[in-house]
Structure formats: structure tokens, C-alpha cells
Amino acid sequence: MTISTGDTLPDADLLKMGDSGPETVSLAALTKGRKVVIFAVPGAYTPTCSSAHVPSFIRTKAEFDAKGVDEIICISVNDPFVVNAWGDATGASGAGITMLGDAEGTFTKAIGMDFDAPPAGLIGRSKRYAMAVEDGRVTVLHVEDNPGTCEATAGESLLAAI
């Protein structure tokens, strides 16, 4: 099943780095009674993800805040150590973007956003998407046709749609 506008997100345990190491984070708990933005990338440190997608949400963070968005979450099918280091390297963590790892791709598969690109060495990764979620329900969903582009899923595009 591929997630669609109007659907409720399945609960999933994602990972983030805490003071004592990896910590489990319930996506249901993060979205319950809240307005959040979730965007996903094919991989930490990959070119488009690092040079376009993450920076677009850093640039628009204050505008999302002004629209009542409680949190911006970036999900990558990577381990929490890599996602944490990447959040620091891109400035996303410092900008207040929550960086979460879907290490086994469980959430990504559950919402039908997984894909493989063997020539690029990407196996079991996430399609590039951005969504607005209110109380666990998807209100806006943008998905790129090509994982190497960041247009429909850029922060500016999602911001204009909410």
C-alpha cells in the first residue's frame, strides 16, 4: 500500500541519537495531536539530499513555524549514527530539524515508499517525499518521480501547499 493524502500514518519506531546513544522514537507519539512536516531522502550524504532537500527545509523552517507546524522531521533509511552526523554536517540539527533513522526501512516499506537503485548502490531506500501531517493523518503529500530531483518535495513547495 502506498500512503495517500487522507491516510493515517502507521505507527513505527524510528531511531535518533540521544545523550547515551541510540533511542527509539514512536512516530505515533510525535504526531499525536500535533502538526508536523515529514520529509524523507534516499540517503544521508547523497548529493541532492545534502545540497538541495535538507537546505530547503532549513531555509523555510521559520515560515513553517509561522504556519503552526510543531516539528519538521527528516527520515532516512540509515542508522542513527549516520543520520546524526549528517544532521550536524548539514546544519539541519542546529536549525531544529529532527533527524530520524529508519534503519531497517520498516516505516518506509509500510507506507510504500521504498525503492532500489543498484547502479547508485542504493538498496532498500526511501523515495524522496514530503508530507504535512495533522494528528497522524496525511494532509498534503508530494513525491518526486526521480530520486535525483528536489522540486515538488522542497520545503518551499510543501510550504506553498499548506
Could you give the residue numbers annotated as active site? 49
CB count, 10 Å around CB of 123?
Answer: 12
Q: What is the DSSP letter of 147?
A: T
CA 60, 28, 82, 19: dihedral to nearest 10 degrees? 100
Q: Which three cell numbers stand for residue 137?
A: 493523518
CA distance 118 to 99: 25
CA 55, 57, 62, 68: dihedral to nearest 10 degrees? 180
